[in-house]
Structure 1
Amino acid sequence: MEKCDWKVISKFGKNAGLSGLSALAVFVSAVSSSYAANTEPVMLARVDDLASLSLESLMNIDVVSVSKRSEPLQQSPAAVFVLDSSAIIRSGVKSIPEALRLIPGLQVARLDSHTYAITARGFNSTVADKLEVLMDGRSLYTPLYSGVFWDAQDTLMEDIDRIEVIRGPGASLWGANAVNGVVNIVTKAAAKTQGGVEQIGGGGEYKGFAAWRYGGEVGELGHYRVYAKTTHYNAQEIAGAGDASDARNNDQLGFRTDLRLNDSDTLSLQGDLYKGRIANPLSNMDESTSGHNVIARWKRRYDDNSDTEIQFYYDQISRDETRTFSEDRNIYDVEVKHRFAVGERQHFVLGGGYHTTDDNIESLNPAVLKFVPAERKDETLDFFIQDQIALIENKLHLTLGAKYENNDYTGDEFQPSARFSYILNERNTAWGAVSRAVRIPNRLDHTLDIYNGALVGDESFSSEEVVAYELGYRAILSSILSTDIAIFYNEYDELRAFSGTFGVPQPEPIRIVNDGAGRTQGLELTVRWEPLPEIKVLASYVYQDMDVAAKFGSKDTNIAKNDENDPNNQFNLRVDWDVAESVSVQTRARWVDGLDDVGVKAYSALDITAIWRVSKSVELSLLGTNLLDPQHAEFSGGKEISRSLTGQFTWHF
């Protein structure tokens, strides 16, 4: 065996300028002067603005992620939160990961200009693999390592209708890998994006960005929209001082059309095409990402309680890491879902799907890393059923669900759940759940080869498992105050571990094995407060305790470090203030506990976004992020996130 760098393998085991703004300000000032002379202040946009709803109305908005059927959030038997379009637009964030920071209970840590570690309820890392993420029904999870390449996921932020997040298992409906949570990103119907919008801006972390979208009618059949955007990021910092030399850019365009074929049938078609480049100072070559996707969705409605939906999508993904590997992947997925009622007290959702992926992973440095074999095709067949039963009408509801999957890694998997909600009255709901979920193996687990066999995957590696117990309570305490609390206890088994100890020479290859077990427990609290009609406050606190260890007889000494990237405590505060009829300010503060084992100190951060609607057509905004310090680390790796000030000009036409 060739000599290898055990420090590199050990790390793998643990983690498995204002000049642009100034120019923009001159441009914005000229535009605003020309409008201000001839226009009166106008109301901030309130289209689909959930921020304008009362607390009681807000708690009764419909969500679909918990049961794949529409139901009031107040009655949902899960720890669920809905981030609406209004909050996203008011925040001024420019990426999906930054939008996820707005959601209570999620752990979002940024490493550099393009890398994020995002999860819920533990096991965070740059290759976090226990969170299922979807956009309009298309899974963003990669079969390479069961996580998400966040730098390749984008859309026009104004086109996002809502982001629904379930903290806790959702596998009985959404399948394997929905172990600790589900993020469901839903974009707006084309009818809600009519007319045009142009955006341009820059400053701080952005060299510059621009976006364009236009929507119109398709005769009498329906509506369409097309969009294009480009974003150029400046490099972040390294610890101490210096440029991380990791600047990047992303270009993307896409479309959506929604057609009403007749009184019962609708058809949606949408797709995206993207390409990005990331500077890599170690290789002096740019890493690249590219891909395209298309989604077709047909739905027939029979009555208020019954419909059938068929969805198909194709996703092509390419990635070139320049120093390690390049990947080309094709994904095909089809799902059929039928919803119906039996009597007045039972509502069923059942369906099934077929998913296939084929890849070609080329090693760019075989002596360091490769996947054996380089090409692989995998298929998954699944069936699911869920029955919502009103045991006591308008009072006690029981939801039983299960998903059966057959995959090429482990064969058959069964993932059941049982949930209840007890509606004390229209303002108070208690709920509880017991669920089982699995994280099936991936290319990394079975086919990885590092340093010519020093560390290898193992085809006998089986699914990681969790049994989760949850209790929650939602209460509208008054017309201006509400609270949502959830507690959880998760037991994990068959966790990924290693057959040997890093740091010393090994007589045989170290293999990836199922030698880990552990548990997590915690509390999640969210409070909404509206002291004045123009001021809305959202505060959240998360406490989490995690204990993971090797099973008896295991030689793995690293697995206990699984919790080193998960803070025990984090607190978030968001304040939306309509300063005037045409001016709004959103202030976001967060405090995150330190990651002592990897040398990341606890930090506080403050973000402020100010928006001024100059006229019905023109909007100016200023976004300041990480305002409390010049730079700080959020994760291990030596890179730090800089203070940033960004300006934006938006024109609606």
Structure 2
Amino acid sequence: MSALSALADELHVDPFAQDMPVVLTGSRLAQSPLDAPAPVTIIDREMIAASGFTEIHDLMRLVPGFLVADWPNGSPTVANHGLGDAFDRRIKVLVDGRAVNDPLWGNTLWQDLPVRVDDIDRIEVVRGPHGAAYGANAFQGVINIITRHPATESGTTVISRLGRDGFHDHGVRINGGPGSAIDWRLTASRRGARNFKSITNDEGDVFSQESVRRTVVNLQASTQLTARDELRLQLGIVDGVDDRGYPATSDESPEWPIRDEDVRTHYLHGAWTRSFAADSELTVQFYHQAHRRRVAWVIEDGGRSIPTDLDTDTARNDLELQYSGNLAPRWHFLVGAGVRQDSVRSRRFFDSGRTLRATYWQGFGSLNWQASDALSVNLGGTFEDHAYSGKLFSPRLAINWALSPLSALRMSAGKSYRAPSLMESHARETIRYEDTIVRRLYNSLQKVDPEEVVHLELGYVARIPQYGLSVDARVFQDRYDGYLDDEVCRYRPPPRSNCADLGFATPPGFSADPLSTSTYYFLNLGRATVRGAEFTLDWKRPGWGRAILTQSFTRVHTGSQLEEENVDRSAPSSATSLLLIKDLPHRWRASLGYYHTHPVHWLNDGGEMGNQDRVDLKIARAFGAYGSDNEVALTVQSLGGRYPDFDAEKFRHEPRIFLSVRATW
């Protein structure tokens, strides 16, 4: 029995009558946030709809401590409490329990996820290291995107959004009829947007532009084989084109011209669950996913026409089982194991036509002891073996103390890891002209170790029904060691340090007239400590609406321990988000989103960002049957116009103004 349920029985309070949510991602088990061993933010369906966001990564702006940025040269990126750069490889992202981080860099290709905002039931975000439950790379947090179960809907839904500058987003969702043996849903969507136009700075430098187009098709089906057994199947495909690069007037255009990049993603995900009792079940799941990119162009350099491409194929196969049950009335446990194989093929990134493969296996578990009606203790951990990082163990201890049926304190501590990606451990990014190397970019010149973080936090969670208020607050310290990043050296001796000084010999076949002598190599640079506090206040009043305020305060300390500059400025000292949802007469509803960050420096390909303020507005009117999702709406994203996200001197994201209609029958 949980602390919440025990105290509720004692005080004759029904906790479920107080609308206390249930989270899955805190410990891999369904539980109240009062009992979860980690801080979890829930972005529910109402927040998703009211925000007006049409891209999944933008929803992370509603999570305290999280930063979101987009840029025209790659995928959008997300960071938690600093250390953010172009590749958000320190956060594990799941869709219905399957890890979707790309095997090449370990980042998330947000625009290629085979799911749309309209298909999401909720998003659960663990706001801190969580390796004990999800293993390596759950380093700064876990984002679990949970889609709508086919059994929760019926009928057909059509969504259409049209805006200026060619923005469009159209989708259809078809559900199986009620009472059938198989619950199923088929969704399809097509969207396109011009995210960035090229800008010219005060010095006359011209920067890159980007437009994207995507088509997404998904099928989900589930069936109750017996009273105890459920079988669930999902499959989907994403097909699209990115149009990006530097205009001909830019100095970067010869090497990075405007080009079309064709992308395709597909996946298959199956899961079987057998329930033995109310709090005991076995789940076995398997998934396969693959991503392909095709893009080629010619670099014109001094009379030479140098062909190059960024063609890449990645794939993942994963098998996992998990069992939970009771050892005694006050002892609950979970155990599981999994094996995964990642593969990547890219002639440019590895200077070879062969496929690189890496195999991982892990065992995980947790033990929860309800020591008293108010006190619960959770021990958890994951032991894993990575193909090129070796054996890692991520432990956690969490203690929850119920102050009342609807409030609790939590103390947790543990250690988590980030394993190097295939790029960081095997890169040989090369451009060749005939038989000579004319450019060597990213290069794994030496073995690197996993990053590790020792984390400690104290949290408070409460629901105060008489005021319609929910509170989630915490203070934390994360100490990072072995921070992994890239540094630059040169094969031809410049006035400053070069590769030879570091013991890196010039590669055989290096051109006497290269495009560049610079190469980027990976190494562990040192330590950093992040301390901070954050809170969420969620207030609801029937007939009025809702207000969700998040606030974070963060400090990154490096001192002389970390060689990389700007890391101590990679988190804003303060960040705020406010989502106001106001019910109006005659079925109208207005929502306002305000997002503010103090100055921050995005690392590597990013740059300096000053104080940033963004305001979004959505005005909607419901129609049709009461309780339906039918609405017509006008949404304005960034009332202040074009806005910087990643580098204030180089990129300006286009604002969006669009009309939308959603109808179900």
| TM-score strictly above 0.5 | yes
Query: How far did 1:244 drift?
Result: 5.2
Secondary structure at 2:346's aligned position in 1?
strand
2:574 equivalent among 558, 563, 569: 569
Classify 1:520/1:178 alpha carbon distance in 2 versus 1 (closer, same or farther; 3 Å): same
Q: Deviations over 1:241-274 (max 9, x none)?
A: 8995411100010100010001110000011111
Equivalent residue, structure 1, for 2:326: 341
Query: How far did 1:375 drift?
Result: 2.2
Classify 1:356/1:214 alpha carbon distance in 2 versus 1 (closer, same or farther; 3 Å): same
Secondary structure at 2:57's aligned position in 1?
helix
Query: How far did 1:563 drift?
Result: 4.2
Of stretches 495-504 and 166-175 in structure 1, the one that deviates more from structure 2 is: 495-504
Classify 1:321/1:100 alpha carbon distance in 2 versus 1 (closer, same or farther; 3 Å): farther
Distance 1:64 1:261 in 2: 23
Secondary structure at 1:191's aligned position in 2?
helix
Q: Deviations over 1:459-488 (max 9, x none)?
A: 521111111011111233542333221111
Distance 2:269 2:242 in 1: 27
**Superposed counterparts of 1:610-649, under 5 Å:** 610-616=619-625, 618-627=630-639, 629-636=640-647, 638-649=650-661
Distance 2:195 2:389 in 1: 42
Query: Is the 1:577–1:586 contact (alpha carbons within 8 Å) kept by the matching residues of 2?
Result: yes
Distance 2:521 2:116 in 1: 42
1:603 equivalent among 612, 627, 646: 612
Equivalent residue, structure 2, for 1:149: 109
Letter in 1 for 2:239: K
Distance 1:159 1:206 in 2: 23
Q: Deviations over 1:495-514 (max 9, x none)?
A: 11457768835124374222
Query: How far did 1:648 drift?
Result: 0.8
**Superposed counterparts of 1:70-89, under 5 Å:** 70-89=30-49
Distance 2:586 2:143 in 1: 33
Equivalent residue, structure 2, for 1:357: 342
Q: Deviations over 1:383-417 (max 9, x none)?
A: 11100111112x01111011110111122111111
Distance 1:58 1:359 in 2: 49
Letter in 1 for 2:620: I
Residue 650 (str. 1) matches residue 659 (str. 2) = no
Q: Deviations over 1:308-363 (max 9, x none)?
A: 00000010111235465221122110100001011111110101011012221121
Residue 580 (str. 1) matches residue 577 (str. 2) = no
TM-score (norm 1): 0.85
Residue 314 (str. 1) matches residue 288 (str. 2) = yes
**Superposed counterparts of 1:241-320, under 5 Å:** 245-282=209-246, 283-320=257-294
1:416 equivalent among 377, 390, 395: 395
Q: Deviations over 1:119-157 (max 9, x none)?
A: 212211111211000001111111211211112114232
Query: Is the 2:312–2:344 contact (alpha carbons within 8 Å) kept by the matching residues of 1?
Result: yes
Letter in 2 for 1:248: V
Distance 1:586 1:468 in 2: 36
Query: How far did 1:609 drift?
Result: 1.2
> % of aligned pairs identical?
20
Secondary structure at 1:489's aligned position in 2?
strand
Classify 1:341/1:455 alpha carbon distance in 2 versus 1 (closer, same or farther; 3 Å): same
Of stretches 631-640 and 198-207 in structure 1, the one that deviates more from structure 2 is: 198-207
1:97 equivalent among 57, 65, 69: 57
Secondary structure at 2:447's aligned position in 1?
coil
Residue 387 (str. 1) matches residue 392 (str. 2) = no
Query: Is the 1:113–1:233 contact (alpha carbons within 8 Å) kept by the matching residues of 2?
Result: no
Secondary structure at 2:645's aligned position in 1?
coil
2:90 equivalent among 125, 130, 139: 130
Classify 1:192/1:107 alpha carbon distance in 2 versus 1 (closer, same or farther; 3 Å): same
Distance 1:373 1:162 in 2: 41
Letter in 1 for 2:274: R
Query: How far did 1:373 drift?
Result: 7.6
Query: How far did 1:521 drift?
Result: 0.8
Q: Which runs of 5+ in 1 are unaligned?
A: 1-53, 364-368
1:460 equivalent among 439, 444, 447: 447
Query: How far did 1:442 drift?
Result: 1.3
Classify 1:205/1:429 alpha carbon distance in 2 versus 1 (closer, same or farther; 3 Å): farther
Query: How far did 1:238 drift?
Result: 4.1
Q: Deviations over 1:163-198 (max 9, x none)?
A: 000011111111110011000011111011311011
Query: Is the 2:446–2:522 contact (alpha carbons within 8 Å) kept by the matching residues of 1?
Result: no
Classify 1:565/1:58 alpha carbon distance in 2 versus 1 (closer, same or farther; 3 Å): farther
Q: Which runs of 5+ in 2 are unaligned?
A: 1-13, 247-256, 297-307, 431-438, 505-519
Equivalent residue, structure 2, for 1:516: 526
Secondary structure at 1:94's aligned position in 2?
coil
Distance 2:211 2:592 in 1: 27
Q: Deviations over 1:12-31 (max 9, x none)?
A: xxxxxxxxxxxxxxxxxxxx
Secondary structure at 2:527's aligned position in 1?
strand
Residue 590 (str. 1) matches residue 599 (str. 2) = no
Of stretches 568-577 and 629-638 in structure 1, the one that deviates more from structure 2 is: 629-638
Equivalent residue, structure 1, for 2:378: 399
Classify 1:275/1:549 alpha carbon distance in 2 versus 1 (closer, same or farther; 3 Å): farther
Query: Is the 2:642–2:652 contact (alpha carbons within 8 Å) kept by the matching residues of 1?
Result: yes
Query: Is the 1:550–1:560 contact (alpha carbons within 8 Å) kept by the matching residues of 2?
Result: no
TM-score (norm 2): 0.83
Classify 1:56/1:339 alpha carbon distance in 2 versus 1 (closer, same or farther; 3 Å): closer
Equivalent residue, structure 1, for 2:509: none
Residue 473 (str. 1) matches residue 473 (str. 2) = no
Aligned-residue CA RMSD in angstroms? 2.5
Classify 1:144/1:564 alpha carbon distance in 2 versus 1 (closer, same or farther; 3 Å): farther
Classify 1:576/1:302 alpha carbon distance in 2 versus 1 (closer, same or farther; 3 Å): same
Query: Is the 2:191–2:214 contact (alpha carbons within 8 Å) kept by the matching residues of 1?
Result: yes
Query: Is the 1:204–1:643 contact (alpha carbons within 8 Å) kept by the matching residues of 2?
Result: no
Letter in 1 for 2:624: S
Equivalent residue, structure 2, for 1:428: 407
Query: How far did 1:544 drift?
Result: 0.9
Residue 228 (str. 1) matches residue 188 (str. 2) = yes
Query: Is the 1:209–1:231 contact (alpha carbons within 8 Å) kept by the matching residues of 2?
Result: yes
Classify 1:115/1:356 alpha carbon distance in 2 versus 1 (closer, same or farther; 3 Å): closer
Secondary structure at 1:151's aligned position in 2?
helix
Distance 2:542 2:258 in 1: 54
Classify 1:392/1:261 alpha carbon distance in 2 versus 1 (closer, same or farther; 3 Å): same
**Superposed counterparts of 1:434-453, under 5 Å:** 434-450=413-429
Secondary structure at 1:467's aligned position in 2?
strand
Secondary structure at 2:226's aligned position in 1?
coil
Secondary structure at 2:482's aligned position in 1?
strand
Of stretches 572-581 and 57-66 in structure 1, the one that deviates more from structure 2 is: 57-66
Count of matched residue pairs? 588
Classify 1:145/1:57 alpha carbon distance in 2 versus 1 (closer, same or farther; 3 Å): farther
Q: Deviations over 1:43-100 (max 9, x none)?
A: xxxxxxxxxxx99867621111011111112332321111112221232321211222
Letter in 2 for 1:561: N
Query: How far did 1:632 drift?
Result: 1.9
Of stretches 206-215 and 593-602 in structure 1, the one that deviates more from structure 2 is: 593-602
